[in-house]
Structure 1
Amino acid sequence: MERILVATDLTAQGARALRRAAMLAEALGAGLEVLHVLRDDLPDDLRAEFERAAGGRLATEVAALHARLNGRVRSRLEFGTPWMTILDAAAEAELLVMGAHRHAGIAELFRGTTVERVAKACDTPLLVVRGDPVRPYGSLLAATDFSLAARAALEAALRLAPNATTRLLHAYSVPFRFLLGGESRRSLLHAERRRQHETAETDMATFLGGLETRLAGAERIFVEDAPEAAIRRALAIAPADLLAVGTHARPRLSEALLGSVARGLMADPPCDLLAVPPPFRSAG
């Protein structure tokens, strides 16, 4: 990995994202760019003042990392619409790092936070930092639906957390389960559950092609549940430092939403969240 971009709003959440990004850049030998975006609709009498204050903060934070990263760090101050400017900058990076934010008001409930709006159209792997980065990632939960995006997310997570204890989670559902209720059809329900579980085990083996040795000790979890609920339940039982999920293919800057699972997790990540698009861009 050659370049990591961290977008900071200079809050406590942004500071956590910067610390994690610096930790990853140091471990991977990558260059680090620290971006802050000031809105371009600031009144003229405030623009210069905000630029001076933000520029000073960025310069101080970059200077503190200069020796640690052997000079592979620089700051970048831009004016614009934050989520759009971050997207443009992220196109040149291999990893985008941002801090997790809760919705600040009714407008964000409809439009989404800056992180959510970036995630909707981002073609770059996005790491949303929630926890305080005091050590390298030691535990990883990779959620998979056996898609190309899920495979890309797993591979990216293994690069960021090469020594982490890994769990692999797949959630499945029994189709038309409501038709299989009642005593007379209970055996049919059990048979269908068994078939779904066996199919998932086979698909998991195919999904992990080429990674079998590296993930030989990884726990494989198969549950009948809605995906987001299964992920949150698994993390409640055994917390992880990092959660990896794939996102849906979509045209850049489209208004198409993230998949429902990634969208729900992005709104309130249970831990650090790595969201990775498939290794191609949809033409739709």
Structure 2
Amino acid sequence: VGESARDAVCGMADGDVVVLENVRFNAGETSKDDPERGAFADHLAGLGDAFVSDGFGVVHRKQASVYDVAQRLPAAAGGLVRREVSVLRQLTDNPQRPYVVVLGGSKVSDKLGVIQNLLTKADRLLIGGGMVFTFLAAEGNEVGKSLLEADQLDVVRRYLSEAKTAGVEIILPTDVVVAPEVSAEAPSRVVSVDAIPSDQIGLDIGPDSTRAFAGKLADARTAFWNGPMGVFEVPQFATGTRAVATALSRIDGLSVVGGGDSASAIRLLGFRDEDFGHISTGGGASLEFLEGASLPGLDVLED
């Protein structure tokens, strides 16, 4: 955003496009200090006459090129951001039912807010991935060497109780694939969730759970998925993720893949983007949207 950038912009002819260096190379982009971030935004705003925000994957971040520039120039949402918001609002504003949400990935702590909000909106929550072992432990199961967030056990127990009161199904695996280590060569086996050996790691949902999850998705009219069911990068632990993707691709309704690792998984496993109703470009942003959280990059456009 220095003199060379200004010279390039000043020399533009009709139809020219100037691409700046990655803004995150500048400390002002992500600074928590408002004046420092604002100073960088002043430089960016000085290069144009209007601002179009089209990076949905960062609208949940209060950063110079997302939030502050929009306060300094006439601003509007681009086509991608408008489409993302339009689709995600179908999940939050009177979704067609049954509304089924599949959550996976490593940490339950990353999804506490969205789980809390979905307890009043979804009909079913299917839980897999590394985060499921905190749920299983909350129900009294030993989880061996599997990922466990012990400091979240009380929160998870409360969610399980609230879901029961609200009439929302929380479906957990009944069997899992375990191995002594995360490796393509590691010997793996299927065990019941109440019989996970102390020296094993849960790395995927098991075949009974895979069939059960697919069945719970079969009649969905609205479905949202964020987070793989296992370590999908290793073929022997990818079955659960593949099964969820297959079931999601077959529903007679709106299917939304919530970006991040889920989007990476479907492409790695050979699915096409058009197999699903919508693949979000924002993993964290889509979760925070469903959580009902304030998204600075959207709020500033609405203001």
Q: Name the structure with the higher strand share.
A: 1
Instruction: Give the TM-score, by structure 2 length.
Output: 0.30
TM-score (ref. length: structure 1): 0.32
Q: Which has the larger radius of gyration?
A: 2
